[in-house]
Structure 1
Amino acid sequence: MSEVAAALRLPGPPGWRVDWDALDRELPWVRAMRGCLQDPVFHAEGDVWIHTRMVCEAMVESDAYRAADPERRLRLFAAALLHDVAKPRCTVVEEDGRVRSPGHSPAGALDARVILWRLGLGHAQREPVCGMIRHHQVPYHWASRSDSRRLVIRMAESTPLRELVWLAQADLRGRECEDQAAQLEAVALFGEYADELGCLDGPWPFANDHSRAMFFLRPDRDPSWAAHDDTRFTVTLTSGLPGSGKSRWVAEHAGDQPVIELDAIRRELGVRPAEPQGAVIDVARSRAREHLRRGEPFVWDATNLLRKLRRSLRELCVGYGARVRIVYVEAPAAALPGRNRARPDPVPEAVLERMLRRWEPPDASEAHELLVVDAGAAG
């Protein structure tokens, strides 16, 4: 963490100073914020760089930041510094002259993930930051949503909501807009609502793993319902970047369970990683159904980097009465290229870069059980 704190010039006592000259000089994604337009209705203060400076200063000056331990301070400052990191690539000027940045929150979470991973920030510290960035606009408009309770409960699985409230407050204090007071009130109400739900400082207390898994799969489920666990066997899905160590984990832990390995199917079919993968997926799903129909535990060994893809697999397995476990394996950025090159079929660098731009690690809302494996720098 100390290397990341140094790279971000983490402000701390006694001066609590943000070293903007160093940040601007050393971090290209900070420099990219300069000159990025914002809608003057919501950001009369100026461009994204000016706004980000004001947000970071508001965060560092807050009582919450100064009372926090170093790990929380790092999360809060990183979230403030990176919360609009995707605006330079998302911002458009519409025909009516209005400036908009559609999708910059989820895009920012993706960008921040890669930035912080390459700086050396591990999963446990990095993913809460990405969650805050992804959801940093939610506290402003949560009350207008018909699914507000479900939304807050889902967010709490991956995002520290108390810290999200502090980020949203700094985001508002770091701008010039006419509705600042009303928006600050909305953020305060969001925090109170999350506290009433019991989610302000942690996930919703589901009765058991099956209740949690079914709540996030079935929109009609009440979170208080204690679901009867009628699963009959376990399916393990791996997730992680190529070269992270998924297959090694499978070799060491799967025992005699059948393994559906997408790399092996590619070799069978003569399909390279950079080519369309539809035929590979079709074969894998066909083999999975054979095991599911027989009620056999098995392992699906693949990158599974996208939440949408994991949900599709989870729905398939749960439909046959399976309990789903996701094993997420992560390797440090410095180790991954060498591990990828050592694979029997290395993934081309251009393909790996595209994967990084879409990389969504799983969270606990996606399975009965989530195991996060730190593969370390060795191997």
Structure 2
Amino acid sequence: MIWQLTNDKRWPALRQRFRWVDEMHQVPQDPRHHAEGNVGIHTEMVLDALSTMPAFQQCSPQQQEIVWAAGLLHDVEKRSTTQRDENGRIQSPGHARKGELTARQLLWRDIPTPFVLREQITALVRLHGLPLWLLERPAAERLLLTAAMRIDTRLLALLARADTEGRHCPDKQEMLDRIALFELFCQEQQCWGQARAFSSDLARWHYLTHPNSAPDFVPWETETFEVTLLSALPGMGKDRYVNEQCHGLPMVSLDVIRRRLGISAEDRTATGRIVQIAKEEARVLLRQKIPFIWNATNITRQLRSQLIALFTAYRARVKIVYLEVPWTQWKQQNANRQYAVPDAVIMRMAAKLEIPQPDEAHSVEYRVVDMP
């Protein structure tokens, strides 16, 4: 049985069932790029165009549902980002980035979706414009190979074509030509419908962190120890993972430091001080090249990148372990903890959650429990 966002795909039914679909019809677009009208009109046209495309019909039934869901959600956050610039032009800066976060929340909380499928959909939402602008950017190869680590480029090109066909604009053919060039570039870079193969995790990490490196370069193995960076919302089971999987490795824990200092979880003013203490504890272990666990939520890429930079400066290999359980189970687990985090705090954190991606570290492990 395949997953579906909904089995009733008629547009009036979608507007009636989902408030965020109905809200699309209140969001204007620049008539130069979207003469068809508002976001709702455009999104309906995108889905209509998608359903008639031979490439869509050749997809497996599950792939069709993935791309269809991404098409429905791809502009969902134009509702919160649309504004007029100094010349009166309508624009929606950052709508794809914010749309990824919203799509993840909807498909975790409201429409329980298997993790792997959910993350394919959110990646398509985040990157739906990539085929149109990739070849204009510096380091296009690196951007493409990084994207292909998290997304099926065939589905991305398909969504981009539907996004283009589902609009009225004078440069439609130019946009379709760009997508065709994107497809050729993917094939040339050996990432059409697959991630580019690297000789090892270290080779992939070296490529990602050395701007002048080539994908086929094989570096010397210099990392002699590993740091495990946990990433999960409060109540997901980080401590349980440490107890069951880490076999007595040293642990740097922000929660332990917070409790040691008698600081409430709601007191965000002390976070900087706690992190600095934790980093000093980590440096002691890093200097001695002792493997250890960094136990904290680390729910944004920016936070993780700062820690990974610290660890790799000491030539550590870094493994991110991401933990997740279904929404209802998570809420219950947090409520039953000895040190429960207030509901308002975890809701705020959930809205900011950025899932670790394969390009962030030497390796990323997903320990996810899906709905039965």
Short-chain TM bin:
over 0.9
> CA–CA distance in 2 between the matches of 1:216 and 1:172?
31
Aligned to 1:311: 305
Aligned to 1:114: 105
> CA–CA distance in 2 between the matches of 1:197 and 1:218?
18
- Shift of residue 205 of structure 1? 1.0
Aligned to 2:363: 369
Number of equivalences: 369
Aligned to 1:283: 277
What SS class does the counterpart of residue 335 from structure 1 fall into? helix
1:1-379 correspondence runs (5 A):
2=2, 5=4, 7-9=5-7, 18-118=9-109, 119-276=111-268, 277-376=271-370
Q: Is the 8 A contact 2:206 2:213 kept in 1?
A: yes
Q: Is the 8 A contact 1:245 1:375 kept in 2?
A: no
Compared CA separation, residues 349 and 195, structure 1 to 2 (3 A): same
- Shift of residue 95 of structure 1? 3.7
* Unpaired runs of at least 5, structure 1: 11-17
> CA–CA distance in 2 between the matches of 1:139 and 1:347?
41
> CA–CA distance in 2 between the matches of 1:244 and 1:121?
17
CA distances 1:185-215 after superposition (whole Å, capped 9, x unpaired): 0011001101110111111111111111122
TM-score, normalisation: structure 1: 0.94
> CA–CA distance in 2 between the matches of 1:246 and 1:71?
32
Query: Percent of aligned positions with the same letter in both sequences?
Result: 37
What SS class does the counterpart of residue 118 from structure 2 fall into? helix
Compared CA separation, residues 218 and 354, structure 1 to 2 (3 A): farther
Amino acid paired to 2:335: R
> CA–CA distance in 1 between the matches of 2:291 and 2:222?
15
- Shift of residue 369 of structure 1? 1.8
* Unpaired runs of at least 5, structure 2: none
- Shift of residue 261 of structure 1? 1.6
What SS class does the counterpart of residue 132 from structure 2 fall into? helix
> CA–CA distance in 2 between the matches of 1:351 and 1:215?
38
What SS class does the counterpart of residue 8 from structure 1 fall into? coil
Q: Is the 8 A contact 2:112 2:371 kept in 1?
A: no
> CA–CA distance in 2 between the matches of 1:71 and 1:273?
42
What SS class does the counterpart of residue 96 from structure 1 fall into? coil
- Shift of residue 376 of structure 1? 4.8
Amino acid paired to 2:261: L
> CA–CA distance in 1 between the matches of 2:188 and 2:208?
20
Amino acid paired to 1:314: I
Q: Is the 8 A contact 1:76 1:163 kept in 2?
A: yes
Amino acid paired to 1:370: V
> CA–CA distance in 2 between the matches of 1:355 and 1:325?
22
Q: Is the 8 A contact 1:335 1:377 kept in 2?
A: no
Compared CA separation, residues 295 and 197, structure 1 to 2 (3 A): same
